[in-house]
Amino acid sequence: MQTPSHPLLARLNACDVRLCLRLNRLAHRPVVRRFFRVISRLGDGVFWYALMLALLAFVPGALPGVLHMIGVGLAGLVVYRLLKQRTLRPRPCDLEPAILRGTDPLDEFSFPSGHTLHAVAFTVVALAHFPWLSPLLVPFTLLVALSRVLLGLHYPTDVVAGAALGWGLATLSFLLF
């Protein structure tokens, strides 16, 4: 892996790799790897689509909140794709031989974490409309973010950037909705 030339970026990169290696060691345990594969798979969209359908089916007046979630999800998809195409950061499991790929990625590049971006964006919007979902959504979102590093698919900075972008998109969406 090419080390960044600026000393501060080189230190950040070294910390990123160390933390990624440390968390990825947990994925060497089959039960842990299976659990986080399920979380990651649910974070692909399955959980969010099921949540939106359940809200529409069982919560009177849920349509505005669900439409808001769909809108922020679509915006997140656009931002995510644009950034992935421009940054082209390889995944840690593709660069670091010691990192186990815990599951297959959805695409080739690492930055930002789209799973985390969407999990945070959906959670922020959903909790604004349905605050009673907090005990379910906050832990799930944290597990999705953790799964991406633990499974060797993202560096911690990819996840932090995804979370910041998701938060920013959700916050911006309140100005538009």
Average pLDDT score over residue span 26-38 = 95
Query: Which pLDDT score, from 0 to 100, does residue 104 have?
Result: 85
Average pLDDT score over residue span 102-112 = 88
Number of domains, the chain: 1
Domain span at residue 74? 7-176
Amino acid in the structure at residue 58: F
Crossing angle, helix 114-129 and helix 156-176, to 10 degrees? 40
36: in domain: yes
Evaluate if residue 24 carries a pLDDT over 60: yes
**How much helix, strand and coil, in percent to the nearest 5, is found in the chain?**
75, 0, 20
CA–CA separation, 177 and 15 (whole Å)? 39
Band of pLDDT at residue 5, cut at 50, 70 and 90: low
Which H/E stretch holds residue 69? helix 63-87
What tens digit of pLDDT does each residue of 57-102 get? 999 999 999 999 999 999 999 999 999 999 988 999 898 888 989 8
User: Percentage of the chain surpassing pLDDT 90?
Assistant: 77
Average pLDDT score over residue span 120-133 = 98
28: in domain: yes
1: in domain: no
155: in domain: yes
**Phi then psi dihedrals of residue 112, to 5 deg:** -85, 175
144: in domain: yes
CA distance to 4, 5, 9, 67, 149, per residue, from 12 (Å): 9, 12, 5, 38, 16
38: in domain: yes
